[in-house]
Amino acid sequence: MKGPKKPPWLKIRLPSHNNFFSVSNLIKNKNINTICQSAKCPNISHCWSEKTATFLILGDTCTRNCAFCAVKKGNPSPVSRDEADHIAEAVEQMGLSYIVITSVTRDDLKDGGSSHFACVLETIRSKMPDVLIEVLIPDFKNDYSALKTVVKAQPEIINHNIEVPKRLYPLINRPADHYSRSLELLRRAKEMGMITKSGIMIGLGESWEEIIQTFSDLRQVKCDLLTIGQYLQPTRNHIPVEKYYSPTKFGQLKNIALEHGFKDVESGPLIRSSYGAQRMYRALTAKN
């Protein structure tokens, strides 16, 4: 099935800055995975040119099969114990003060990979104690001891994407009850004292009212920060785009989300979960 034609204002920047190629070489030489590459992020040129990247841990193969996601799916390899050291070295060489760590979902691991998240954070901070770290985590199959393991490693922000309104979960190949599971994870993270963040992508056939309801549901669990972005079909094998929202509509959604009580919102066609992450964190902490 073919979706609507991509609008002319939705332009993705091509890489040209020297920083992009230096980050690309560093990541390749360190044998590091990034969500920028694995998820075919449209902002890779901009972010790498700014010498930022979102590091992907626990390998490059996800045990789930979400219909919107370009990350490789299948049977993952054993967790590399060198991964934490390689990422810490890259963070140090890039001179980063704020980083985002995410992962593939590893349902094959007893703790969902939470102990490895903690190991990566501890290793980075052993080399760069002042670095600020945001983690974008999976749901750990409702295992809150796994969530506690990550929280104990003291990231600055726990990010977990709600992805789409509840009705569309079957469309993206997720059980409907995983919507409430994700809300519960965010609720518990907030109860553990964390700043919490989530993201929604639009353009998969949701109604305006369903988007607003998702905002309400996230605020019910006291989610602090929100990202809103346009779904872009990564390959022909993924579900097609149903609708492209204009920048004006994204601006309207940002205002509505702020009215719902989110402390900060990034909203735009190319916004992704970690886009503007440092700005959002620093803006939030400056208010407190």
Render pLDDT for 151-169 as a digit per residue (tens, 0 to 9): 999 999 999 999 999 999 9
The angle at the Cα of 21, spanning 46 to 18, to the nearest 5 degrees, equals 75
pLDDT tens sequence across 88-99: 888 888 888 888
Where residue 16 falls among pLDDT bands split at 50, 70, 90? Answer: low
For 69, the token pair is 């996601």
- pLDDT of 45: 58
Structural domains in the chain, sorted by start: 12-155 (no CATH), 162-174+188-288 (3.40.50)
For the entire predicted model, the pTM comes to 0.91
For 38-72, the pLDDT digits (tens) are: 445 565 555 555 556 688 899 888 899 888 777 78
Burial of 247 (0-12, 13-18, 19+ CB in 10 A): middle
